[in-house]
Structure 1
Amino acid sequence: MIARIDPQRPGHGAQARTAAPIANAMSIDVEDWFQVAAFDRHIDRSQWDSLECRVERNLERILALLDRYDAKATFFTLGWIAERYPAIIRAIVAGGHELASHGYGHQRVSDLTPEGFREDLMRARVALEDIGGVAVHGYRAPSFSIGRDNLWAHDVLAETGHRYSSSVYPIAHDHYGMPEAPRFAWRTQAGIVEIPPSSLRMLGRNLPASGGGYFRLLPYSVSRWSLRRINRLDGQPAIFYFHPWEVDPEQPRVAHAGAKSKFRHYLNLHRTEQRLARLLNDFRWQRVDRVFAEHIEV
């Protein structure tokens, strides 16, 4: 059963036309360049500790950028990263941002059993809470890997003490997506609030409008128009996301990866930070848990 949540507080719905601008939710999926799904067939997990980690310096740049525009964000963070870079985890919390979970080792939920998923969640949550010193309520699945075939994941999230997820992307994609899912926040039978990445309803289908590779592929004006449409026409907050490696054009190259994976990963990396600065300036940004505070009930 799917129950849609319709935010109706100042800044949302019809009131958005006369009240202050809607606060959109900014999110960062904290993983390093060698952990992305596009390269998992080319870089074995046993190699991770021997490769050059660049996530800490990239997160420092991102934190400085957010601070420059007085923006707050949610950092969906791998437990693997937290254990190796505790100082940057504490800096995220000290900056007033939300610390949330991206699982421990960037395993797709669709590749895990319920027992394996529970283990991954708890390992990540223990690491994040011990290092960050704050409770972790939110979760985002690697590669948005919760969909129609594994909605049992919401039950496991509830059992492990999480309050919300941002993991079901209501679009059609070659690696993920559940087009029939609601475009805006909805509550599962388990009580978890699912907050999907933003999409546009056009020409009878849902189109992605929440960042990631599309933010680098398309002109910035497309992203700005899309988010404004969601705010003004739908009267809803947008959910945007990106990764630390997307502000790092000098990261190592995976030479033996396929052409499609390379295109998706490396395209316009040199433009991302400048585009993010424009985005932070053009909209109002806040943490996921605060944008949806009335519904998450932390």
Structure 2
Amino acid sequence: MMHNALSVDVEDWFQVGAFERTIDRSDWEGLTHRVERNTDAVLDLFAQAGVTATFFTLGWVAERYPALMRRIAEAGHEVASHGYDHARVFTFTPEQFRADLRKARAILEDASGQKVSGYRAPSFSIDPRTPWAHPILAEEGYAYSSSVAPIRHDHYGWPDSPRFAWKPVAGSDLLELPVTTAKLGQRTLAAGGGGFFRLLPYGFSRWAIRQVNGQAQRPAIIYFHPWEIDPDQPRVAGAPLRSRVRHYTNLSVMARKLRRLTQDFAWTRVDALIAQEAARAA
């Protein structure tokens, strides 16, 4: 049976891209923090299912909840970087990006006791605007990035990216592992998890993963956020309607869908796929 990669983008309900223009970073500290309880609930769900995963974690979160990082590591999961405070990569200069990488990694490694070798850009914000991002990741010693969504989307996307693992830096072993997409005729469909998994019928995700595993003979890379299993989180009344619909729809069914997902497919950490995917990378 093929193993797919399950990943969790560890950030709190107020740190998401959908609310970045509504909630100011200076207000984060005073808001109700729910990331620890929600991530612990994810850890319990994974323990019951007997799966391991990769937790792409904000340095901001690890700084405040170091014991949570230790629990993730001690449960056999991979701790990887999601940057420090969810700033999109294309908002940085190259020097600022390098500084953000170093800051987040130092915090994550200190808190978890694990070496951090993986990175996921907030909101999949490595794209044609950031030609320096992958070379800097390679220079900083990262083994892989999972920062590209090879789709068209109003918030992110690099539709011309390869759909599966590729090497973005000549002469480097750095691997880019895009989140999963499916094909419907000539159309490339987002199928990597997150809001697409939560909002669409479960059957769509099952079909997409089976297509990737069967027709393409490649592992799927799926992600979600701890806040997606928290229907009781605060509501942001001032956010745009589209953002509120995307963020709050189907929160109450997400945990049940995740349990089904863990039963229907075999799962592992992202770093467990590196050697296999490097051999097939473009």
Following superposition, the deviation at residue 78 of structure 1 comes to: 0.3
Q: Percent identity?
A: 56
| Runs of 4+ residues over 3 Å off in structure 1 | 293-297
Residue of structure 2 equivalent to 1:64: 44
Backbone CA RMSD of aligned residues = 1.2
Task: Tell whether 2:245 aligns with 1:273.
Answer: no
Deviations 1:81-128 (A, max 9, x none): 001001110000000000000000100001110011011100000000
Task: Tell whether 2:84 aligns with 1:94.
Answer: no
Which of 223, 238, 242 is the matching residue for 2:205? 223
For residues 265 and 272 of structure 1, the distance between their equivalents in structure 2, rounded to whole angstroms, comes to 12
| Residue identity opposite 2:197 in structure 1 | F
Consecutive unaligned residues in structure 2, runs of 5 or more:
none
Which of 186, 193, 205 is the matching residue for 1:211? 193
Deviations 1:146-168 (A, max 9, x none): 01121210011112221110011
Q: How does 1:4-19 map to 2 (within 5 A)?
A: none
For residues 295 and 38 of structure 1, the distance between their equivalents in structure 2, rounded to whole angstroms, comes to 32
Residue of structure 2 equivalent to 1:168: 148
Q: TM-score, normalised by structure 2?
A: 0.96
| Residue identity opposite 2:272 in structure 1 | R
For residues 178 and 113 of structure 1, the distance between their equivalents in structure 2, rounded to whole angstroms, comes to 19
Q: How does 1:53-132 map to 2 (within 5 A)?
A: 53-132=33-112
For residues 22 and 295 of structure 1, the distance between their equivalents in structure 2, rounded to whole angstroms, comes to 13
| Residue identity opposite 2:258 in structure 1 | L
Which of 200, 225, 240 is the matching residue for 1:243? 225
For residues 30 and 182 of structure 1, the distance between their equivalents in structure 2, rounded to whole angstroms, comes to 26
| Residue identity opposite 1:260 in structure 2 | R
| Residue identity opposite 1:43 in structure 2 | I
Residue of structure 1 equivalent to 2:271: 289
Following superposition, the deviation at residue 27 of structure 1 comes to: 0.3
Q: 1:232 to 1:294 in 2, by over 3 A?
A: closer
For residues 40 and 26 of structure 1, the distance between their equivalents in structure 2, rounded to whole angstroms, comes to 26
Residue of structure 1 equivalent to 2:244: 262
Task: Tell whether 2:35 aligns with 1:52.
Answer: no
Q: TM-score, normalised by structure 1?
A: 0.91
Following superposition, the deviation at residue 295 of structure 1 comes to: 5.1
Residue of structure 2 equivalent to 1:14: none
